[in-house]
Structure 1
């Protein structure tokens, strides 16, 4: 699952990178707004499209595996229990995980994601050879998943969780998708945005402001940011 997620991110960036900047995550779109590389007016549009994409992707998965779901569940789509299938689409916390600990999990995971992404895209830092950004970002997602994904499946992306959750609500799993886990649904929707803000502040204060003075003082060109003008970001 973790490897598949990382490879999916890599392929998505290759597909859409030069067209839209490959915005796949509202948390990263927020980070780009905070550093002035995305207009705040575009932010709600990007978030809506990302949410819609998650909803449609879940629909495609449901159609592809419809026979398998019916065979496994006998047509009884449940959110909890020994044959639950809702977690195929959205994330749910482990039985031991409290909401507070889950919130911290998502803040920390998204903080790591944003710090890593900003470092990868910053040509004034070590940077990444042009064209290899998707691969390195995929490795970043893989590292986060294998190291801290055990609590709740490392959503670290509101659209990746809320979009599929909405699909399951309409597709037969019902309102339990929003009640399960003591109302878990809002954690992967809110905590990544907090983590994105903290990650952006961390990178700006501890790294971006400490580049050599000649680089900091010089006007930033597109090449300094590690992307052409139309490739604003990755993830």
Structure 2
């Protein structure tokens, strides 16, 4: 059997996304359970998510391409020839990786969560899943939905620019680092309206984990409105827009005589 088997690809997506969530959800848990700010703030959250992306892509990039995000997988299937037969299994692996990682965070931080929010309310639900306005009222569902479209469009546009071999990409194996910095930048610039999920697996997997471990309102926002669909549908639409814009406005004009495009599904990270 080939070392680079299909099972290996799915395993890579599972563990790559798991690493992403261990750092991302873990840092939010640390900040939320230390409300005096002694254990971090918004900047530490943005940096830890970026580091999680970097390490998750390094874990999975060689075998699976390091998508670790259903929005990336779907966009690459539409615009870059990634096999559609792999889309569903990749998304399942990504979501399971996020789910397992969130369960680990839930168990490790159980005592601190119980201390600051014993009723498991919206106050600590933010650890696991995003909310409009980060739990503060005033941001509408429509605004949050549009925010997720814009944020993920930015992500995919820039990811496509970074991994395209004809577009002066980062040298050596530095693409995951640059992509991680993109996520840091999005977190610092686009985190106010909806928490910059920009990744359906990142939000749904931990949201499910929180639901089965005591968060009865996991599928709702702070006003009681059904919300879980926003960070799923919004990023998928945004990813298609971002990848499509790069394809039709930039990639089609890049030179083809001195480089070979990056193979889809292998060295294309998230």
Same fold per superposition (TM over 0.5): yes
Residue 228 (structure 2) aligns with? 185
State whether residues 12 and 22 of structure 1, in contact with CA within 8 Å, keep that contact through their aligned partners in structure 2.
yes
**Equivalent in 166, 178, 201 of residue 136 of structure 1:** 178
Residue 52 (structure 1) aligns with? 96
**Equivalent in 210, 213, 219 of residue 168 of structure 1:** 210
Change (3 A) 1:130 1:21: same
Q: 2-side partners of 1:211 and 1:13: how far apart?
A: 25
Change (3 A) 1:29 1:160: same
Bigger mean CA deviation after superposition, 178-187 or 141-150:
178-187
SS of the counterpart of 1:179? coil
Q: 2-side partners of 1:170 and 1:58: how far apart?
A: 11
Correspondence 1:72-91 to 2 at 5 A: 72-73=116-117, 75-79=118-122, 84-91=123-130
Q: 2-side partners of 1:86 and 1:173: how far apart?
A: 7
Q: 1-side partners of 2:130 and 2:119: how far apart?
A: 19
Residue 27 (structure 1) aligns with? 71
Q: Which runs of no fewer than 5 residues in structure 2 stay unpaired? A: 1-44
**Equivalent in 73, 88, 92 of residue 131 of structure 2:** 92
State whether residues 18 and 230 of structure 1, in contact with CA within 8 Å, keep that contact through their aligned partners in structure 2.
no
Residue 105 (structure 2) aligns with? 61
Q: Does 1 or 2 have the higher relative contact order (CA < 8 Å, sep 6+)?
A: 1
Considering only aligned residues, what root-mean-square deviation do their CA atoms show, in Å? Answer: 1.7
State whether residues 106 and 210 of structure 2, in contact with CA within 8 Å, keep that contact through their aligned partners in structure 1.
no
Q: 1-side partners of 2:126 and 2:74: how far apart?
A: 26
Q: TM-score, normalised by structure 1?
A: 0.89
Q: 1-side partners of 2:191 and 2:152: how far apart?
A: 12
